[in-house]
Amino acid sequence: MMLTAGHALPTRAACGRRAVRINAVAAPEKSGVLNVNRNENFGKLRAGYLFPEIARRRKAHQEKNPDAKIISLGIGDTTEPLPKYIADAMAKAAAGLATREGYSGYGAEQGQGALREAVASTFYSGLRTADEIFISDGSKCDIARIQMMFGSKPTVAVQDPSYPVYVDTSVMMGMTGDHNGTGFDGIEYMVCNPDNAFFPDLSKVKRTDIIFFCSPNNPTGAAATRAQLTELVDFARRNGSILVYDAAYALYISNPDCPKTIYEIPGAEEVAIETCSFSKYAGFTGVRLGWTVVPKALKYADGSPVHNDWNRVMTTCFNGASNIVQAGGLACLQPEGLKEMHAMIKFYKENAAILKATFTEMGFKVYGGDDAPYIWVGFPGKPSWDVFAEILERCNIVTTPGSGFGPAGEGFVRASAFGSRENILEAVRRFKEAYGKQN
C-alpha cells in the first residue's frame, strides 16, 4: 500500500520517550480516481464534436506533410479583419474603461438598452420590441442556454443536415436515447435534400415539443421561402410546438422571397424564439456578440411566458456581454457600421459565387452559396469523410464532411466561403487541377 503525505498508516512512533499516535487513512490504490459517476448523456455523444475532429485530422495531415500550405474551407470561421469604424468603437470603449467617467462594471444581463433598441429597430422594425431582445456572447451559447431552460423532457426535431449544436446539446441535456448508428433515438430528423428543395416534407414529420430550424441553413446554404416558413409556423402552431429559429446568416439572403426573420410570418410570435449573431455579419467570431429574441406572446402550456424563464436563465447563468464588445455591436448598427458590415458580407458572398461557379463548371451538383456563405457539393455514393480525406490529400484543402451535420449529409461536403480572396482563388486552382471536368 502506498503512503502519501497526510495519509500514514495508524501507528505508534517514538518521539523522545513518549509514544505519539498518528491518525491517518489509507490512500486509494490509484490516485485521481473519483467516486462520481459520469453524466451518462455525455457517453452517448459521438467520438467528438465535428470541428475538433476536423482540426485533429488537419493537424495530422500537416505533420505528415510539413511543407503543405493547407487552405481551410472547413470550419465556418471568418477571416477578414474587423471593419475600422467598428474596431475603433471598441478601442474607444476599452480606453474609456481606464477613465473614471468611462468606467463601468457589471451591466444588465439582458444587454445595454441602446443596443437592444438598435437591434430591434435594425432587424425587427415594427415586428419586435427592445425588451424582447436579449444580447449575449453569441448564438451557440444561447442555444445551449435555451436547452437548459427546456430541461431534459421535451422531444426535439432538427433539420437533417444541420448545425450540430442542436443535436449535441439535446443529447447532453438527456432529451435523446443512444446513437443507433445512423442518428440518435428520440430525435426527429427532418430530411432536407435536393429531392425536396431542402425543405422538409412536414406531412411526414412527427410532432415534437421543440423544432430547431436554421435558415439560411448551415450547411446546405438553402434559405427557406416565405411560403415554406408559413408552412413551418402553421405546423408549429397546429402542434403547439416551440420553434427555435436560427437566423445566424439572415443578412446573406439575396432572394427577396426569403424572409430575414421568422417574425415576418404572421403568428410566429406565439411559437418562435429567434437567435442571431454578429459573428458572420461583422467578423465577431472571436469578439463574441449575439442576441436571442423571445416574444412576450410566447407562452407555455400553463400560460406562463417563456420570456420570464429566459430572463431568469440569462440573469442566473450569464453576466452580460462584454461592455467593450457591446460598443462594437452598437457601432455595427450605425450608418457607417452597417455599410462596413454589408461590404464584408458582399465580399464573402463573392467568394461563395467563385466557389459555386467552379464546382458547377467542373460538373458537380452544387447547392447553396446564393443566400449563404456555404456551398454544398454532392459526391453521390461516396462516404463524405472519404471525400474529406481525399480533398485534403490531393488539394491540401480542408472541407467539412456532410455526414458531420446529420445522416442526410452523407455524400456531400461543405465548402465555406470564409477566406481571403487569394486563398479562395488558390483553392479553386487546386480543385480544378485535382478534379478537372467531371463526366
Q: Decide if 217 contacts 336 (C-beta within 8 A).
A: no
**In the bound complex, what is the minimum distance in angstroms from residue 363's beta carbon to ligand PLP?**
28
**In the bound complex, what is the minimum distance in angstroms from residue 142's beta carbon to ligand PLP?**
8
**In the bound complex, what is the minimum distance in angstroms from residue 311's beta carbon to ligand PLP?**
20
**Chain centroid to CA 195: how far?**
26
Q: Which backbone phi and psi does 190 adopt, to 5 degrees?
A: -95, 100
Binding mask 286-305 for ligand PLP (x = CB under 6 A): ----x---------------
How far CA 283 is from CA of 137, 274, 422, in Å, comes to 14, 20, 18
Which of 391, 74, 360, 79 is closest to 218 using CA atoms? 74
CA 324-52-39 angle, 5° bins? 90
β-strand partners of 245: 213, 274
In this complex, which beta carbon is closest to ligand PLP, that of residue 140 or of residue 260?
140
The only residue of 74, 76, 320, 409 in contact with ligand PLP, by rule CB under 6 A: 76
Binding mask 27-66 for ligand PLP (x = CB under 6 A): ----------------------------------------
Residues 212-271 that bind ligand PLP (CB under 6 A): 214, 218, 246, 248
**185: amino acid identity, one letter:** D
**In the bound complex, what is the minimum distance in angstroms from residue 116's beta carbon to ligand PLP?**
17
In this complex, which beta carbon is closest to ligand PLP, that of residue 143 or of residue 362?
143
Stretch that binds ligand PLP, among 29-37, 137-145, 201-209, 341-349 (CB under 6 A): 137-145
The yes or no reply on residue 184 touching ligand PLP (CB under 6 A) is: no
**In the bound complex, what is the minimum distance in angstroms from residue 76's beta carbon to ligand PLP?**
5
SS3 201: coil
- How many residues touch ligand PLP under the rule CB under 6 A: the total is 13
CA dist 344 and 79 (Å) reads 10
CA dist 335 and 267 (Å) reads 31
**In the bound complex, what is the minimum distance in angstroms from residue 279's beta carbon to ligand PLP?**
3
**Core vs surface per residue 270-301: b (16+ CB within 10 A) or e:** ebbbbbbbbbbbbbbbebbbbbbbbbeebeee
Stretch that binds ligand PLP, among 11-19, 132-140, 174-182, 183-191 (CB under 6 A): 132-140
**In the bound complex, what is the minimum distance in angstroms from residue 75's beta carbon to ligand PLP?**
8
Binding mask 140-179 for ligand PLP (x = CB under 6 A): x----------------------x----------------
Q: Decide if 216 contacts 240 (C-beta within 8 A).
A: no
The only residue of 277, 292, 399, 403 in contact with ligand PLP, by rule CB under 6 A: 277
The only residue of 78, 147, 279, 358 in contact with ligand PLP, by rule CB under 6 A: 279
CA dist 246 and 135 (Å) reads 15
Helices (H) and strands (E) in the chain, counts: 13, 15
**In the bound complex, what is the minimum distance in angstroms from residue 329's beta carbon to ligand PLP?**
12
**Chain centroid to CA 96: how far?**
32
* Binding positions for ligand PLP, rule: CB under 6 A: 76, 138-140, 163, 214, 218, 246, 248, 277, 279, 285, 290
